[in-house]
Chain A
Amino acid sequence: MRDYKAESGKLRRLCAELLEKGTVQCIVAWTEGEDRPRAREALIDKSRPDLVQKMVWSPFCTTSTVTFLKKNKAALAAKKVGVVVKDCDFQALNVLLQEHFLRREDLVIIGARCDGLAEADLFGRPAADAPVTSDAEGVAVGKERRRWEDFGFTCCLSCSYEHMKPDHVIGEYGRKKGSPEWKHLSKVLSQEPAKRREHYSAVFDKCIRCYACREVCPVCACVECAIDPGERAITPRTAPGEKAGAPVWASHERGVSENAVYLTTRTMHMAGRCVRCGWCERACPVGLPLMEIIDLGNDAVKRIYHYEVGRDPADPPFLVSYAETDPDDKGAGH
């Protein structure tokens, strides 16, 4: 049984020490507040000892500290930044390190071993001092118990990542990791191509192109998105060549065809990078089964190339590297 109060205590002591010694200038970590047991990310430096005391690690730390870090200019500017990560965040961090978006020497990684995530909504309003614990079966807050399967975090059930190599470790795994079996995908892929086309057309049709999936993604870190080049504002001083050199891959209009270009492109971009945290699907305001699309790329990478995402930060990124032993056209296609 894991006691998250003890683990959070260990985390607070460790982080206070790192800040005190000056090993790191600031730390990205989860903190809890009034709405306990929910937790959210915060940037904590030496001037906020109160926030250090609010630091927490529990299955309710559902958000990604990496998503927070990659958008936080203060954290990116710091010389040395500590970041508390769970397994999928660590994978995302490795992907960003592979792409040289971050530098390993700028980071102190504090890894919290994760057994899966839990929804705070299912626990109502627990007492302020109710202890959070978990075991192989589920999570408990005080006397209230829920099973892992009760939560909407379906990706966690099929997560099998156990290769975290952080600088400091918090906690030990309390249950056997899930089997990497993607039932949602095999259900879709068992259909005829025409049926699948119909299925995915209906999905594409509903997309409202809000780009929430992109914003919430821990590994979506391009300075400028090919699909929505918002950073490239056209001003009177923009040179004609610059305008001509900016391809319009997909218009901003909503339509099956344009949405299909967006989502297919995103799937290709995610191949070999997606850490399967499932946040795109959870963030989608129209409830699209985005993992059914993104997993097509993940499945190809896994099945054809046996490539594991986010293992080694020194690896070259998957799609911009090759091996002479790559298979030739076999295995592709369903």
Chain B
Amino acid sequence: MNTPGDMGKAEGFQPKIVAFICNWCTYAAADLAGVSRLQMPPNTLNIRVMCSGRINPMMVIRAFSHGADAVLVSGCHMGDCHYITGNYYARRRLLTLKSVLSGLGIEPERFRVTWISAAEAQDYQHVITEMVENVKRLGPLRMFKGGSTVAPESSGCAEA
């Protein structure tokens, strides 16, 4: 992990991207991308959730504070949610968060909310590739680093 101090847009910088992806659409798209052997950078840490509506804004904030350089939340297209309305709730919540984070100075490219269906493996590849490129250009994120962080083992994110 980068520590504050060794920053700069160094050549060898490998961004850490946390991707919260929904079980029914984007996870399947990621799976399809894998079996279709679509090439994409290996910088993402995929976390499968049952629905994008499950994403609490605090999870995203916590990911940033634990050292993520970018966060992706991806779910089903509007109207295609397995739970009918989960992604509608997610959309309102996460776009508000996006606006807050970008106001704080976290570039909008670092927090993306996308809707990718199970068939759109190429879209998934495109989003991941684009994000990695963008974040490499922007460099490591410093804001939430430095100072103390909770030891990872004590920060189980079981419930809101």
A residues adjacent to B (C-beta < 8 A): 188-189, 193-201, 205, 226, 244-251, 253-261, 264-265, 267-268, 271-272, 293, 296-297, 299-301, 303-305, 318-324, 326-329, 331-334
A319 to B85, CA, bound (A): 14
> Nearest chain B CB to A108's CB is how many angstroms away?
34
Q: Are A271 and B100 in contact (CB under 8 A)?
A: yes
Q: Are A247 and B158 in contact (CB under 8 A)?
A: yes
Q: Are A257 and B154 in contact (CB under 8 A)?
A: no
A270 to B154, CA, bound (A): 27
List, in ascending order, chain B residues with CB within 8 A of A253's CB.
147-148
> Nearest chain B CB to A317's CB is how many angstroms away?
11
A201 to B143, CA, bound (A): 6
Task: Digitize B74-113: 1 where CB-to-A-CB distance is under 8 Å, 0 elsewhere.
Answer: 0000100000010011011101111111111111100001
The A interface, classified by DSSP as helix, strand, loop or mixed, is helix
> Nearest chain B CB to A323's CB is how many angstroms away?
8
List, in ascending order, chain A residues with CB within 8 A of B156's CB.
244, 247-248
Nearest 7 pairs between A and B by C-beta? A255-B147, A197-B105, A196-B105, A333-B108, A300-B99, A296-B103, A322-B88
> Nearest chain A CB to B4's CB is how many angstroms away?
9
Q: Are B96 and A268 in contact (CB under 8 A)?
A: yes
> Across the two chains, which residue of chain B brings its CB closest to A192?
B105
Task: Please judge, given known A-B contacts A197-B105, A319-B96, A322-B85, whether A226 and B65 are in contact too, CB under 8 Å.
Answer: no
Docked complex: B101-142 residues within 8 A CB-CB of A: 101-108, 113, 115, 142
> Across the two chains, which residue of chain B brings its CB closest to A255?
B147
Is B61 engaged at the interface, CB distance under 8 Å to the other chain?
A: yes
Task: Please judge, given known A-B contacts A257-B146, A261-B62, whether A334 and B96 are in contact too, CB under 8 Å.
Answer: no
What are 8 inter-chain pairs, A to B, with CB distance below 8 A?
A: A196-B103, A197-B143, A253-B147, A254-B148, A260-B104, A264-B101, A319-B96, A326-B88
- Most chain B CB inside 10 Å of its own CB: which residue of A305, A320, A334: A334
Q: Are A320 and B143 in contact (CB under 8 A)?
A: no
Task: Please judge, given known A-B contacts A244-B156, A253-B148, whether A267 and B92 are in contact too, CB under 8 Å.
Answer: no
A250 to B150, CA, bound (A): 7
Which size bracket describes the interface of B in this complex?
Answer: 35 or more
Is B160 engaged at the interface, CB distance under 8 Å to the other chain?
A: yes
Q: Are B61 and A265 in contact (CB under 8 A)?
A: yes
Indicate which residue in A200, A246, A299, A326 contacts B99 across the interface (CB closer than 8 Å).
A299
A296 to B146, CA, bound (A): 23
Task: Please judge, given known A-B contacts A327-B95, A332-B98, whether A247 and B105 are in contact too, CB under 8 Å.
Answer: no
Is B54 engaged at the interface, CB distance under 8 Å to the other chain?
A: no
Apart from A253-B147, A264-B100: 18 A-B pairs, beta carbons within 8 A = A189-B103, A197-B106, A200-B104, A246-B159, A248-B154, A255-B149, A256-B145, A257-B147, A258-B148, A261-B58, A261-B61, A261-B62, A261-B144, A319-B96, A322-B91, A323-B92, A328-B91, A331-B95
Q: Are B102 and A257 in contact (CB under 8 A)?
A: no
List, in ascending order, chain B residues with CB within 8 A of A251's CB.
148-150
List, in ascending order, chain A residues with CB within 8 A of B85's CB.
322
A300 to B91, CA, bound (A): 13
> Across the two chains, which residue of chain A brings its CB closest to B149?
A257
> Nearest chain A CB to B144's CB is how many angstroms away?
5
Q: Are B158 and A244 in contact (CB under 8 A)?
A: yes
A268 to B115, CA, bound (A): 22
